[in-house]
């Protein structure tokens, strides 16, 4: 942690039976607000998922509040630091799933793939018989992934089952002997994706324990097979090895992560468009977006936060 990194971010999830999840919403919201903690937490019958940030004491208090529930006593979280607040508001949302895949019969509490520690991940990837699948969305993969990983080019996680259905080498009884390794940002999507593979009859299914974030936290750059940066679902946008701040910003029009090179494009207009959305916005929309950006800059000049300054991120965690 650097001397100016004063905001602690905690990413967490746990699959656990929470039949009373609706009753947990208000007390959890109040605990976060009382401790100046902001971010998003999702509650569902199948568990809890989300990322929160705030003063260290506040985050510790909220985590203790959660773990006071015996069902969440073993809740694991990942930490990182930031000099700026990653979130602008606190939301505790009720959901059907804490990560949406829309396969109702799936239960990660019963069957998931085999966890692989970050220290053992490189050896697994080096096995030529292993098919390594990046289960994240296209805009995440675009800025970084593991060398040699398969990119499904999906817009959101719910498209993964259909993509798997379309892969000839993953069909049939013989294919079920294929070794499959999956990874995602923090591990939660792989709880469901590996459970899906097991449900489909695959024998050897692995996933990176703690996700990319744990790998970047523990594995030094000189030993890493990770290339690029890792997209995160808060105002940091991306992180690198050691979970240090990355070098990407969000396009405030389409929310695609942009590098410094991306911002040199003639199609990039701050707050209005980038290469990914330039042709998708009408002239009228661009005028409105330009006005919103003008209001954001005026608010910043006054030391205020304009409501349009911080847009919600993509909804997959």
DSSP string, 34-101: HTT-EEEEEEETTEEEEEEEE-HHHHHHHHHHHHTSGGGTT-EEEEEEESS-S-SSEEEEE-S-SS--
**What backbone torsions phi and psi does residue 172 show, to the nearest 5 degrees?**
90, 165
Say yes or no to pLDDT of 297 above 80: yes
Catalytic sites, residue numbers: 184
- For residue 210, is it left (φ>0), alpha (ψ between -120 and 50) or beta? left
- pLDDT at residue 311 in the model: 43
pTM tops 0.85, yes or no = yes
Domains of the chain: 7-94 (3.30.70.100), 114-227 (3.40.250.10), 248-317 (no CATH)
Taking only the tens place, the pLDDT of each residue in 35-84 is 999 999 999 999 999 999 999 999 999 999 999 999 999 999 988 888 88
CA distance 278 to 34: 42
- Locate 167 and state its tokens: 């892969």
Contact 102, 31 (CB under 8 A): no
Provide CB contacts within 8 A for 280, sequence distance 6+.
254
- Rounded to the nearest integer, the mean pLDDT of the chain is 92
CA distance 149 to 163: 15
CA distance 159 to 143: 20
């Amino acid at each position: 942690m650097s001397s100016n990194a004063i905001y602690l971010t905690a990413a967490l999830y746990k699959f656990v039976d929470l039949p009373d999840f609706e009753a947990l919403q208000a007390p959890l919201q109040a605990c976060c607000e009382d401790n100046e903690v902001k971010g998003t937490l999702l509650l569902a019958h199948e568990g809890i998922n989300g990322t929160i940030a705030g003063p260290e004491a506040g985050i510790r208090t909220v985590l203790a509040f959660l773990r006071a529930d015996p069902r969440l006593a073993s809740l694991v979280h990942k930490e990182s630091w930031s000099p700026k607040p990653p979130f602008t508001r606190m939301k505790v949302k009720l959901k059907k799933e804490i990560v949406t895949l829309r396969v109702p019969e799936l239960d990660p509490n019963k069957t998931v793939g085999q966890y692989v520690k970050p220290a053992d991940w490189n050896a697994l990837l080096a096995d030529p018989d292993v098919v390594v699948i990046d289960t994240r969305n296209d805009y995440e993969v675009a800025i970084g992934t593991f060398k040699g990983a398969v990119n499904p080019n999906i817009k959101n996680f719910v498209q993964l089952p259909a993509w798997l259905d379309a892969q000839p080498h993953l069909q049939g009884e013989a294919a079920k002997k294929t070794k499959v390794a999956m990874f995602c940002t923090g591990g939660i999507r792989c709880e469901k994706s590996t459970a899906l593979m097991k449900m489909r009859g695959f024998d050897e299914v692995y996933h990176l324990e703690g996700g990319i974030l744990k790998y970047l936290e523990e594995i030094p750059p000189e030993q890493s097979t990770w290339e690029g940066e890792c997209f995160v679902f808060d105002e940091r946008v991306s992180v690198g090895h050691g979970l240090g701040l990355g070098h990407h910003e969000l396009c405030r029009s389409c929310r695609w992560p942009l590098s410094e090179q991306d911002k040199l494009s003639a199609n990039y207009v701050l707050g209005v468009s980038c290469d990914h959305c330039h042709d998708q916005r009408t002239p009228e929309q661009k005028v409105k977006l330009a006005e919103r950006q003008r209001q954001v800059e005026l608010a910043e000049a006054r030391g205020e936060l304009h409501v349009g300054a911080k847009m919600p991120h993509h909804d997959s965690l």
